[in-house]
């Protein structure tokens, strides 16, 4: 009898440490979501535009530093970059305690964004190092559960702290969460492959360009969904948008958890194409059926697409990059995520202003379909390259 081949192990002590450290970090980042805007508008007396500037400052440095963080992760190690990120993040939030002006708060937020960039790139790259190649999509799906769980719990922590004792307590609890993330990352071993990168400095990695453009198209629509659905529910005469976002989060968590093996079983290319098509369908359903039922059904469909897109496309990125340049590839890929969250709401805001809120969902679906076209072009190009390579293989002569 032949023994059935066992699957390579995925969950190791190092993997668990990174997942728990990521959970602690995203609880900290999630706690900033409601507290920073309230702090700027309340104690600092800032206007709505000031709120936008302070909140948006985070994204500026997060976008700019991710590629640099990836390169540093290849040179110095993933844990090193994670620890730098937590030092920057925790120190900057401690600075919120003494930030008594808008300008000082902007400076602190810029440092917070830099810390976020370093930590996430280090953690995500370490996970791809640890994951067996055949289970990389599954590993990234499970890894992202820490993100969603943290972002779900963090805002509750922040708001409860502010209500109980004010903003200083909230800031110090967030600092404590970042210290916990640092402590959990400290024992993580060096996960870099044995091969060390001695090539030229390459900040923007070519392996991440096509998957990055596709994740940009995917998240563009999701960012617009987050920004404008709270306004759209008013047009539908619903009480609020909380149930919509709860539904979206539950669908994403279920797919990422129980469907974690889907990207590996389908292959990253097929899973990514399915993700973009599903996202576009969900957005179209919301736009076509201007009813509460249409919104809920479309939200559920969109959640399926969003859940599959990230693990499939990051797996595609890592597979195309040499192991010694994996950090640079992850850094470039994740920078496209930040870019999508910046340009998505901005561009779709003009659509909403000129054509109405329903048009936002049609436009977002169109962007997702553009990502699908990019994937189709990539697939055709790879087929042509494969055919050309087979044609160039010399046929051995058969002796007479």
Predicted confidence at residue 3, as pLDDT, reads 47
What does the mean pLDDT of the chain come to? 84
- Determine the Cα–Cα distance for residues 334 and 347; give it in Å rounded to an integer: 20
Name the band, by pLDDT with cuts 50, 70 and 90, for residue 187: very high
CB-CB contact of 24 with 181 (8 Å): yes
Mean pLDDT of 187-215: 77
Among 314, 334, 391, residue whose Cα is nearest residue 70: 334
Name the band, by pLDDT with cuts 50, 70 and 90, for residue 95: very high
Q: What are phi and psi of 364, to 5 degrees?
A: -65, -40
CATH 1.20.1250.20 residue ranges for the chain: 11-189, 205-391
Among 62, 174, 44, 54, residue whose Cα is nearest residue 101: 44
CB-CB contact of 90 with 173 (8 Å): no
CB-CB contact of 30 with 159 (8 Å): no
Note the pTM of the prediction, 2 decimals: 0.77
Q: What pLDDT, in 10s, does the model give residues 345-370?
A: 778 888 888 888 888 899 999 999 99
- Token pair, residue 163, equals 């209500």
Question: C-alpha distances in angstroms, 288 versus 172, 239, 264, 293?
Answer: 46, 21, 33, 11
Predicted confidence at residue 327, as pLDDT, reads 84
Contacts by residues 370-376 (CB-CB < 8 Å, ≥ 24 positions apart): 370/217, 371/213, 371/214, 371/215, 371/216, 371/217, 371/218, 371/276, 372/217, 372/273, 372/276, 372/277, 372/280, 374/210, 374/213, 374/214, 374/217, 375/210, 375/214, 375/269, 375/272, 375/273, 375/276, 376/273
Residues 6+ apart with CB under 8 A from 303: 247, 248, 249, 250, 251, 252, 255, 282
Predicted confidence at residue 363, as pLDDT, reads 92
Mean pLDDT of 27-35: 85
Predicted confidence at residue 232, as pLDDT, reads 82
CB-CB contact of 11 with 127 (8 Å): no
Predicted confidence at residue 200, as pLDDT, reads 58
- Token pair, residue 287, equals 């736009």
Mean pLDDT of 159-185: 92
Predicted confidence at residue 221, as pLDDT, reads 83
Predicted confidence at residue 349, as pLDDT, reads 80
Predicted confidence at residue 137, as pLDDT, reads 78
Residues 6+ apart with CB under 8 A from 116: 29, 58, 62, 85, 89
Predicted confidence at residue 389, as pLDDT, reads 63
Which ranges in 236-291 belong to alpha helices (H)? Answer: 242-258, 262-266, 268-288
3-class SS at 110?
Answer: helix
Is pLDDT at 7 greater than 80 in this prediction? no
Mean pLDDT of 122-149: 82
- Determine the Cα–Cα distance for residues 85 and 62; give it in Å rounded to an integer: 11
Query: What is the percent of the chain where pLDDT is above 70?
Result: 90
Is pLDDT at 4 greater than 50 in this prediction? no
What CATH number has the domain spanning 205-391? 1.20.1250.20
- Burial level of 370, CB count in 10 A (0-12/13-18/19+)? middle
What CATH number has the domain spanning 11-189? 1.20.1250.20
């Amino acid at each position: 009898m032949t023994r059935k081949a066992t699957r390579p192990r995925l969950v190791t002590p190092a993997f668990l440490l990174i997942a728990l450290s990521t959970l602690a970090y995203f609880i900290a980042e999630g706690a900033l979501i409601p507290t920073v805007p309230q702090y700027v508008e309340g104690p600092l007396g800032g206007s709505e535009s000031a709120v936008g500037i302070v909140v948006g400052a985070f994204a500026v440095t997060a976008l700019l530093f991710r590629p640099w963080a990836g390169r540093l992760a290849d040179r110095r190690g993933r844990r090193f970059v994670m620890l730098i990120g937590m030092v920057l993040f925790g120190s900057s939030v401690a600075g919120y305690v003494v930030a008594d002006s808008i300008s000082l708060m902007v400076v602190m937020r810029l440092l917070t964004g830099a810390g976020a960039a370093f930590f996430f790139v280090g953690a995500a790259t370490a996970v791809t190092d640890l994951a067996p190649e055949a289970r990389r999509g599954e590993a990234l799906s499970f890894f992202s559960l820490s993100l969603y769980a943290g972002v779900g719990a963090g805002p509750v922590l922040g708001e409860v702290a502010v209500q109980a004792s004010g903003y200083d307590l909230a800031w110090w609890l967030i600092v404590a969460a970042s210290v916990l993330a640092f402590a959990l990352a400290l024992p993580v071993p060096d996960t870099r492959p044995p091969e060390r990168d001695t090539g030229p400095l390459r900040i923007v990695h070519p392996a991440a360009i096509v998957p990055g453009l596709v994740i940009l198209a995917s998240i563009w629509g999701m960012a617009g969904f987050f920004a404008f659905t709270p306004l759209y529910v008013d047009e539908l005469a619903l009480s609020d948008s909380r149930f919509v976002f709860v539904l979206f989060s539950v669908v994403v968590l279920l797919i990422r958890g129980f469907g974690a093996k889907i990207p590996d079983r389908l292959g990253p290319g097929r899973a990514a194409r399915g993700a973009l098509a599903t996202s576009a369908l969900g957005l179209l359903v919301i736009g076509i059926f201007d009813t509460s039922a249409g919104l809920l059904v479309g939200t559920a469909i969109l959640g399926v697409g969003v859940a599959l897109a990230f693990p499939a496309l990051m797996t595609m990125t890592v597979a195309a990059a040499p192991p010694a340049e994996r950090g640079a590839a992850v850094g470039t890929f994740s920078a496209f995520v930040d870019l999508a969250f910046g340009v998505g709401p901005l561009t779709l805001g003009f659509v909403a202003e000129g054509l109405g809120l329903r048009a936002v969902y049609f436009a977002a679906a169109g962007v997702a379909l553009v990502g699908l076209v990019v994937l189709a072009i990539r697939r055709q190009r790879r087929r042509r390259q494969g055919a050309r390579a087979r044609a160039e293989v010399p046929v051995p002569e058969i002796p007479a």
